[in-house]
Homo-oligomer: A and B are copies of this chain.
Amino acid sequence: MNKSEALSERAGNETSDLSKARLRAWLQILKVSRKIEGELREKMRLEFGSTLPRFDVLAALYRERDGMRMSELSKSLMVSNGNVTGIVDRLVAEGLVVRMPVENDRRASIVRLTPAGEKDFAERALVHEGWVSDLFSDLSSGDADALIRILRNISHHNEAPHHD
């Protein structure tokens, strides 16, 4: 705790100005992220008859054309294992991804895009980028860079400590 923080602390449970500024920042992040997510969810539903979580899975698989394990997928998306199971099930039912067995490990399976999945995602990704750019049309190039820099700092500090 630095000097000005220490000075502003009192008995009884008051909190510092810095702490309050950080709380405001967090609430603002939450507000923007909910608003944008809601807009994108609606567009996704109306234009593609699909959902954001499915789009996220397709995006991850599009970056790894040889496919990913379920566990890699859930780690990359930062959601639980059980969650990915259901989303992949639906994408399989839609014919956009397939599950393939892994040589020498019958516990695991590799998920990858079908040709239809690749084609659909490529189209959707372009449209999606346009939506985002529209929703952020007040964000200048400089502010975008500043935003990314500040948020990366926060991300890095909260990076999950990896086991060796």
Contacts and interface: CB of A to CB of B under 8 A. Distances in A.
Majority SS of interface residues in chain A? helix
A146 interface: yes
Interface string A10-41: 00010111111111111011111111111100
A47 interface: no
A139 B32 contact: no
A38 B78 contact: yes
A33 B156 CA distance: 13
B141 A19 contact: no
Interface stretch (A87-95, A106-114, A128-136): A128-136
**How many chain copies does the complex carry?**
2
Contacts of A21: 141, 144-145, 148
Contacts of A158: 35-36, 39, 135
The 5 closest A-B pairs by CB, nearest first: A19-B133, A33-B33, A22-B136, A21-B144, A138-B157
Given A23-B129, A31-B151, A147-B151, 18 more contacts: A13-B126, A15-B126, A19-B130, A24-B144, A26-B36, A28-B147, A30-B33, A33-B33, A34-B78, A35-B155, A39-B158, A135-B158, A136-B154, A137-B157, A139-B150, A139-B153, A143-B150, A146-B146
Interface of A: 13, 15-26, 28-39, 78, 126, 129-130, 132-133, 135-139, 141, 143-148, 150-158
23 contacts: A17-B141, A18-B141, A18-B144, A19-B130, A21-B141, A22-B133, A22-B139, A22-B144, A24-B144, A24-B148, A25-B148, A26-B36, A26-B132, A26-B136, A30-B33, A36-B158, A38-B78, A135-B158, A137-B157, A138-B153, A138-B157, A139-B154, A143-B153
